[in-house]
Structures are given as structure tokens and as C-alpha cells.
Structure 1
């Protein structure tokens, strides 16, 4: 199910790169919501209630967000 939702988002993003309009943008928003819901389900399945997994999740997330912030700051300079 997760792979299917992410594939649908990928498909609509590819469509948007070829044809930009409000209808496609609404499709993207809908698919983003579907993927976000699926990600929450995956976190419940694989992370919730597992202290080590929760710690790793937050640690990895923080590292990746820091890296993204640094890249964005470089682009702005």
C-alpha cells in the first residue's frame, strides 16, 4: 500500500513536469496527503513503541534536516 501511494505521487509529479495547471496541482496536493497519511501509518508500524527506533528516527531526521538547511543556505549565498 505504501509503495502504491508513493508511486501515485511520483506519477502525478511527472505529469506536472510536463503539463502545469491547477488541476494537476490539486492532484499533487491530494497525493501528498495520501503519502503523508501512509507515512504516519508506517511510523506507527515500525517506530511507535520501540524506543531505539524512535531515537534513531529522530536522530536521522535531525541530521537530514540540518544538511538540507545547510544546502539551502549555500544556494542563497
Structure 2
């Protein structure tokens, strides 16, 4: 199998930003999730975007609480 037709996969331990990088670099919108030699799911670009937005929203909430003295 050549590098250009190799299936891109992730594991349950793969970080969200790594999955996003793989999708961007390889111009793909879905990545199979593989564990113990079998497919256990699929990650879409929408899943990745939701996770990143949620992470940023939580960080903004923490910063707002700090600024307003709610820490």
C-alpha cells in the first residue's frame, strides 16, 4: 500500500486537534476510529468543530468568571 492510498485512522486516545490536523492535511471530512484492530466509530469534521468550540466556550467562561471576580 502506498502512502497516497493509505487509510487515515485515529484511536480513542487521539486528541481532537490531531484529528483536525489529519482532516485538514489530507482534505478529508471523516476518519474511522480503530481500537483493537476493529472500527468502533467514525469522527466527522462536525464532531471536531463542536469539540473545539465547546473547549473555547469553557475557557471563555473561566476567563469571564476570573475577570468578574467569580474565581
Higher strand content, 1 or 2: 2
TM-score, scaled relative to structure 2? 0.37
TM-score, scaled relative to structure 1? 0.35
